[in-house]
Amino acid sequence: MERSSWVLVDGENIDATLGGSILGRRPQPDERPRWDRLLSFVSDRWGTTAKGLFFLNASAHLPMPFVQALLALGYQPVPLSGPADEKVVDIAIQRTLRALADRRDDVALVSHDRDFAEDLARLTGDGRRVAVVAFHEFRSAEFAAIPGVEFFDLEYDAEAFDAPLPRVRVIPIEQFDPAEFLR
C-alpha cells in the first residue's frame, strides 16, 4: 500500500497571520498563497502523494468560489459550522490528527497554532514524517519542543507566493546578499 502525505491547512490561522501580522490589512487575491504549490512541495520533498484537507469555518457562509478553486487545485475542502464560541476548525484538525495516529501516513500541518502541539507530538516516531508549514517567525514555540518535527516556511521553503512578502527575517550569513538592502 502506497504511503500518503496529508496536508492539513488551518485556513483561518494562515489568513489571519498573513493579513493581521504580515500585511496589516486584508490580503488581496494575488497576495494569498498558491495552495497547489504547497501540495507539490510536500509531494516533492517527501516523495509521496500529497493529499490536502483545507479546513474552513463556514458558520456564517460557504464561500463557493473559493471552495470550487480548492477542489480544482486538488484539495478536499472541509467546511465546518458550530456555535460562535467554538473553534470549529481547531476541533476538526485535532480530531483529524488523532485519527491519523492509527495510520502510517505522513502529516504536514499548515498552521501557527499551539493548540495542535500535543496531537502533533503523538504522531512523531515510527518512521512517519511530521512537519509544520508556517511563517517561521509566527510559528508557536511549542512545536520546536517536539522531537522529530520538520519545519518549513510557507514563503521561503514552499515558495507558495508569487511576490515577496514584507517580512523581517533572520538571514543565515551564507545567504546574506547586501544588494537586497542597498536599493
Q: Which residue has the higher pLDDT, 16 or 3?
A: 16
pLDDT digits (tens, 9 = 90+) for 145-159: 999 999 999 999 999
pLDDT digits (tens, 9 = 90+) for 66-120: 999 999 999 999 999 999 999 999 999 999 999 999 999 999 999 999 999 999 9
Evaluate if residue 1 carries a pLDDT over 70. no
Whose CA is closest to 149, among 178, 121, 171? 121
pLDDT tier at 29, thresholds 50, 70, 90: confident
Domains of the chain plus CATH, in order, are 4-180 (3.40.50.1010)
Residue appearing with cell numbers 510557507 = 154
- Give the whole-angstrom CA distance, residue 42 versus residue 158: 8
Assigned C-alpha cell, 94: 485535532
Residue 35 φ then ψ, to 5°:
-60, -30
Q: What is the pLDDT of residue 87?
A: 95
What's the chain's average pLDDT? 94
64: enclosing H helix or E strand:
helix 64-72
